[in-house]
């Protein structure tokens, strides 16, 4: 005989009487659950149409520690990737900040060039320009690597609520940060195509994101 039972306002079944009894044992249904089979005029409580099965003894008490979910970044499928324009404005802000830092740090070098008998020889000029260029490179590289590894975002990205992470959503390593910085230079050398790739990539990745295996994602406003 096939039985049907009501669960959460829906008709479930058909099941055999043995299966229906097992559902009661397992706590899926109760003795007050309405049941029905072909030939019955109407639905009736289980206890009114089927004999009560023996109640098994309660299981021995056991202690299980509460489940504590691991603390982690959102799953990759939940990322909201940052598009081209929001990243563009983040770079603009970073450019302003880096320019200010360069001006402060390189000002003493510029003053020394003015005071040191300017343009005594081409070699003197090349040396001083080289010093300024190398200092500028070090400042810029240190800026990006420091903020990417320590905070996950440069000041420009912080303002725009963006973050640089691994594909799993974890902070990037120093090696990834250094590789990403040099990849960023490459993205600019090739007519900025490496930056423009963000516009059509499925995960909004630039060339340097691909080279360093990183992603740029949007983060909540509390960041």
Residue 196 has pLDDT above 60, yes or no: yes
Cα gap 66→131, rounded to integer Å: 60
Computed over every residue of the chain, the mean pLDDT equals: 82
Encode pLDDT of 118-154 as tens digits: 555 666 566 667 777 888 899 999 999 999 999 999 9
pLDDT at 223: 42
Question: Which percentage of the chain shows pLDDT scores above 90?
Answer: 46
- Domain parsing of the chain, residue ranges: 3-49, 76-218
Cα gap 5→19, rounded to integer Å: 11
> Which uninterrupted H or E stretch holds 13?
strand 10-15
pLDDT at 34: 84
pLDDT at 145: 96
Encode pLDDT of 157-179 as tens digits: 999 999 999 998 899 999 999 99
Q: At what angle do helices 122-150 and 174-189 cross, to 10 degrees?
A: 130
Task: Sheet with 3-7: list strands edge to edge.
Answer: 10-15, 3-7, 34-36, 44-45
Helix (H, G, I), strand (E, B) or coil at 130: helix
Encode pLDDT of 44-90 as tens digits: 888 777 765 555 566 666 666 666 655 444 444 468 999 999 999 99
Q: Higher pLDDT residue, 19 or 111?
A: 19
User: Dihedral of CA 21/27/29/31: which sign?
Assistant: positive
Asked if 50 and 21 count as a contact pair (C-beta separation under 8 A), the reply is yes
Q: How is residue 127 written in tokens?
A: 């040396």
Cα gap 14→203, rounded to integer Å: 47
User: In DSSP terms, which residues pair with 36 in a beta bridge?
Assistant: 4
pLDDT at 190: 95
Measured in degrees and rounded to the nearest 5, phi and psi for residue 120 equal -70, -30
């Amino acid at each position: 005989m096939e039985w049907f039972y009501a669960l959460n306002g829906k008709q479930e079944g058909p099941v055999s009487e043995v299966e229906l009894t097992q559902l009661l044992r397992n706590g899926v249904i109760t003795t007050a659950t309405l049941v029905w089979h072909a030939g019955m005029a109407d639905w009736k409580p289980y206890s009114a149409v089927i004999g009560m099965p023996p109640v098994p003894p309660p299981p021995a008490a056991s202690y299980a520690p509460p489940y504590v979910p691991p603390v982690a970044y959102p799953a990759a499928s939940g990322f909201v990737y940052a598009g081209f324009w929001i990243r563009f404005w983040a770079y603009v802000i970073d450019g302003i900040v880096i320019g200010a830092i360069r001006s402060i740090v390189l000002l003493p070098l510029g003053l020394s060039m003015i005071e040191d008998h300017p343009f005594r020889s081409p070699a003197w000029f090349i040396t001083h320009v080289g010093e300024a260029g190398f200092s500028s490179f070090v400042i810029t590289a240190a800026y990006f690597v420091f903020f990417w590894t320590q905070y996950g975002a440069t000041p420009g990205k912080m303002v725009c609520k963006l973050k640089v992470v691994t594909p799993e959503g974890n902070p990037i390593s120093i090696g990834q940060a250094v590789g990403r910085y040099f990849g960023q230079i490459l993205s600019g050398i090739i007519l900025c195509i490496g930056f423009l790739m963000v516009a059509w990539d499925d995960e909004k990745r630039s060339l340097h994101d691909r080279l360093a295996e990183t992603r740029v994602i949007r983060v909540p406003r509390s960041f």
